Structure 1
Amino acid sequence: MTSEVAHAKRALRAELRERRRTRPAHVVDAANLGFTENLIALAKETDAHTISAYLSTSFEPDTRPFLNWALADGRRVLLPIARQDGLLDWAEGDGETETEGLYGLPEPVGGILGPIAINDADLILIPASAVDEHGTRMGWGRGYFDRTLGSMENCPPVFAVVFDDEILDEVPRELHDAPVDGAVTPTRIIRFAN
C-alpha cells in the first residue's frame, strides 16, 4: 500500500511541477499580486506577530513581497534552513539577504536559532505542491515540514501556499503527512475543517 501511495505522489508531483514550469509569465505575475494581498490579509486577520514562512524558489508562488511587507510592518519573520538530518533550523529573515542552501534552496543569512524557534510562530506558511479539500497537503517529497509540524505540541494555524488549480479533490496521503488548517491562493483564503 505505502509503495502505491508513494508512486502516486511522485507521479502527481511530476505533473504539478510541469504545470508550474509551463505556466505563462503573465499568469504568474498576476497570481503573485493575489498571493501577496491574501497573505497580508491572513497575517492581519490572525494578528500574527511572528510568522514562519519560506523563501520561494523560482517555480513557487513568490513570497518575497509578502515577507518585505511583514518586516516593514514590524513583524518577526522566521525562515527555514534545511539540515542534513532532516530537521529545519530557523533564522530571522531581513527580506534582502539570502544564500543557496541544501538542495539549492534559498535560505536566509543570519544567526541560526535552532529547530525549536518555530514554537514562537503565531502563523506558519508552508510550501506545497497541492492540497486537497480535507486539508491534506502534499509537499515536494523531503518531509521537512511534516516532521516539523508533527513535532509541535501547540501548533499555530498552518497554511499552504498554492495556485488555485492545486486545490484538488484528493491527494495521496501517508501516515506521516501533516494536515494544514488552510490554503492561500491568488484568489482566496481557504480554511479546512480538519
Structure 2
Amino acid sequence: MSDRQLPAKTALRDQVLTARRRRSLLDLGADARATAEHLLATPEVRRAATVAAYVSVGSEPGTSALLDALAAAGKRVLLPRLLSDGDLDWGTWRGPDALAPARMGLVEPVDSLGVDAVATADVVLVPGLAVSPTGMRLGRGGGSYDRALARVPVGTFTCVLLGEDEVGLDVPVEPHDRAVLAAATPRGVTRFGSAPA
C-alpha cells in the first residue's frame, strides 16, 4: 500500500459516508426499490439460479426489497457472514426472521456454507462506497469483499450497489483490489470494460 493511496482512500470514504448520512429514509427507500428493479431486469439476474447478495445496514443502498424479490423469483440467495479474520463465510437467505445480529452492526444468516460458497453464485452483488470508470470498487477498507471476489470465477456477473453520485469516481487502487463488471444505482446499471449486455 503506497503512502499516497491510503490517505486518498480514507478521504474518499469520508466524503461518501458524509453524503450518505445526509440522505433521508424516504429517499433511501425509493432508491432501493429503483435499484432493485434495474437489477432484476438484467439478463444475468433473470437467468441466475444463485445470487450472492448482502443485507444492507445504516445508510448503505438498501437491499430488503431486492432480497425479497430474488426469493420470490425462486432464486437461491447467499448472504455473507463476517469471520473473525475478516474473510466472508456464506449462508442462505431464508427471510428476515432467519437473520441474527453480528459484530460491527451487521445482520447475518445463521447457517454456514463456507468461504468458497460464493464461487457457486451466478451473480455476485457487493456493497461499496464508490467505483471508478474501469470498475475498481472502493469498500470500507477491510478487504473482505476483495477476498470473496478473488474466489468468484472469471466472467461471473459482479455488481456493486451504489448511489448515483458514487459511480465514475477516481478510486485509488492497490494490488489486492478487485474490479467489478457493473454498478447498479437508482438510475440503472452501468457496465464496465467488456461486461456483456
Gaps of 5+ in 2: none
Structure 2 equivalent of residue 123 of structure 1:
123
Amino acid across the alignment from 1:58:
G
Question: What SS does the aligned partner of 1:67 have?
Answer: helix
**Which runs of structure 1 show a deviation greater than 6 angstroms over 4 or more consecutive aligned residues?**
none
Aligned-residue RMSD, C-alpha? 1.7
Percent identity, aligned pairs only, is 36
Q: TM-score, normalised by structure 2?
A: 0.91
Mark the CA change 1:156 to 1:44 in structure 2 (over 3 Å): closer, same or farther.
closer
Cα distance between partner residues in 1 of 2:13 and 2:63: 21
Cα distance between partner residues in 1 of 2:102 and 2:129: 20
For residues 32-181 of structure 1, the aligned pairs below 5 Å read 32-42=32-42, 47-96=47-96, 97-109=98-110, 111-154=111-154, 156-181=156-181
Cα distance between partner residues in 2 of 1:44 and 1:95: 23
Q: Deviations over 1:107-134 (max 9, x none)?
A: 122x210011111100000000001111
Cα distance between partner residues in 2 of 1:155 and 1:82: 25
Mark the CA change 1:154 to 1:132 in structure 2 (over 3 Å): closer, same or farther.
closer
Amino acid across the alignment from 1:30:
A
Deviation at 1:169, TM superposition (A): 3.6
Cα distance between partner residues in 2 of 1:28 and 1:160: 16
Amino acid across the alignment from 1:64:
S
Question: What SS does the aligned partner of 1:2 have?
Answer: coil
Cα distance between partner residues in 1 of 2:130 and 2:72: 30
Q: TM-score, normalised by structure 1?
A: 0.93
Q: Deviations over 1:26-56 (max 9, x none)?
A: 3223212211211211366551110000000
1:87·1:147 contact (CA, 8 Å) conserved in 2? yes
Cα distance between partner residues in 2 of 1:191 and 1:179: 12
Deviation at 1:102, TM superposition (A): 2.7
2:45·2:123 contact (CA, 8 Å) conserved in 1? no
Amino acid across the alignment from 2:62:
D
